[in-house]
Structure 1
Amino acid sequence: YCCWLKMLFTLGILLLLTPFPSFQTMTNEKRYSTGSDQAKSRARDGRYTSVFTTEVITGNKCTPANLFASSILIGEVDIYPQGKEGQSVRVYCDMETDGGGWTVFQRRMSGKTDFYRTWNEYSVGFGNLSEEFWLGNKLLHNLTSTGPVSLRVDMQSGNDTAYAHYANFSIDSEERHYTLTVSGFTGTAGDSMRYHNGRPFSTHDKDPDPLGIHCARAYMGGWWYKNCYKTNLNGLYGINSNNQV
């Protein structure tokens, strides 16, 4: 059980990104066309938009204690965010990236799943765990409020990779509009998430932003917008647009 034990204290959210070269759609096999210089440049500058495929992962519940009964080390499993006495939640666990122990929270692969959703849909989650999905802001708040949680962003274009790691990451309650807290950046991909620190979550039907810019409507996604973004991972898939920053 040595491998399980080393993952026992893995706490975090992992966000895996793969840019579309020349902003072309990626195949399900994750193979790419040529011409990725523009995408790689944007990654280095720390501007991640929906031209990247994404995979958001929380690691603090995919631990040996939670997985022991299922004997599954990667794939769909049931976790118990409130302990065994609480209700189980089906998630996708990643036991390979950065030491393992991550729970996938969001994934975009082909753009076939619509991410222009309502506040309630983002709250409870939508999509298919084996394909594209958003697990839900309520659960994300739950998972990030039980202890120290980190965020990692990984990007790949062909053989080129970059990453961003945030030592501290949490999402507030629905009453506080799922406000984002993120800090402690290290990595090679750029520090774009810091721009969104302290921002409430916004959707086209509920925008707590006091500035009244309605970024969620303009860029057709749900996100922690701020006049409007440096990263927009739930926006239109494969679209590179001006961001008003």
Structure 2
Amino acid sequence: MSRMAMFLRNHQRGHQLLLLCPEKTWRSHDVAMKANMGSCPSVINCLISLVSATWCLTFYCSTVLGARNCKELLHQGVVMSGWYTIYPDGMAPLQVLCDMDTDGGGWIVFQRRYDGSVDFYLGWDSYRRGFGSRLTEFWLGNDNLSHLTSTGTWDLRVDLKDFNNTAYYAKYSAFRIAPASDNYRLTIGAFLGGNAGDSLSYNNGMAFSTKDRDNDQWSSNCATNWPGAWWFNDCFIADLNGVYRLQQNSNPIGVLWATASTSSINYSFKISEMKIRPE
């Protein structure tokens, strides 16, 4: 195969311009195409034109690399839920779990709990950075949440399942997390409905608290008395980062959302997901 000089330039968000030019010549267009495909692994479409004057193949590669969030991925034709890399404005590339199935899809999942395999009774720095993994339960990280929600307007959706696999949800407008300088303070807008009821408005405007950073409105530390981390007020009627229970439980220490129509306001849920999507 002839040696080629390769020039890769950003054409615009989500597109790349790739020029492959032989130092002398090439055997066939097929050789050049194979060389290009190794350099554009996320190609959706490539429009190919032969620039005969310079003997270059020009590839306009439409990729998903420029998507800023899961909703943009959905609009680009990505319809399967799973882990993807997004490119939010002003942030490094970020791997996120995209829920493309629930309520029209396009959701970034930032909290997931389903089996108690990950300890959520952690400190400030762990919640700041995020913890868990794509194979386990996880928290995406308060820094990431703050950066993501700093521009635009975002909806929040909470999805829950009890130990009978009955599903509940709650939805809010205008979700935003403040930066670390304001202790990742929670702001939400209107409760948009859902059979889980509204257990979060009580925490609206509250700073985030952990076992080693007490920012709540109580004289003691909510995060140590009800082990977890949350936007505690004095203290809460929801705490989805509380202690995970392996079976149905009505202990007030648990994965709680008190307004859901379960057998007890202290019912600890089996599955919890929190997710955001641009409005």
Asked if Structure 1 and Structure 2 have the same fold, meaning a TM-score greater than 0.5 normalized by the shorter chain, the answer is yes
Letter matched to residue 163 of structure 1 = Y
Q: Does 1:61 align with 2:69?
A: yes
1:113 to 110, 118, 125: 118
Give, in whole Å, the separation in 1 of the partners of 2:136 and 2:113: 7
In the other structure, the counterpart of 1:93 is: 98
Cα deviations by residue, 1:113-164 (Å, 9 ceiling, x for unpaired): 1001110110010001222000100101111121111111233344633321
Identity %: 44
Cα separation, 1, equivalents of 2:224 and 2:234: 12
Aligned to 2:160: 155
| Cα offset, 1:167, TM superposition | 1.7
Matching residue of 2:230: 223
- What CA distance in whole angstroms lies between the structure 2 residues aligned with 1:71 and 1:98? 16
Greater Rg over alpha carbons, structure: 2
Long gaps (5+) in structure 2: 1-67, 254-265, 267-279
- The structure where strand makes up a greater share of residues is 2
Alpha-carbon distance in structure 2 between the residues aligned to 1:121 and 1:131:
16
TM-score between both structures, scaled by the size of structure 2: 0.60
Taking CA–CA contacts closer than 8 Å with sequence separation of 6 or more, which of the two structures ends up with the larger relative contact order? Answer: 1
Provide the secondary structure at the position in 2 that maps to 1:236.
Answer: coil
- The residue that corresponds to 1:39 in the other structure is none
| Residue 127 of structure 2 is aligned to residue 122 of structure 1 | yes
Question: How many residues in Structure 1 have an aligned counterpart in Structure 2?
Answer: 182
1:167 aligns with 2:177: no
Alignment RMSD (CA, Å)? 2.5
Q: For structure 1, which runs of at least 5 residues remain unmatched after alignment?
A: 1-59
Distance in 1 between the 2:173 and 2:85 partners?
26
Note closer, same or farther for the CA distance 1:189–1:82 as it changes in structure 2 (3 Å cut).
same
Task: Kindly indicate whether the alpha-carbon contact (under 8 Å) linking 2:74 and 2:106 is maintained by their aligned counterparts in 1.
Answer: no
Distance between the aligned counterparts of 2:201 and 2:71, measured in 1? 28
Q: Distance in 1 between matches of 2:212 and 2:119?
A: 15
Q: State the shift of 1:80 in Å.
A: 1.0
1:183 aligns with 189
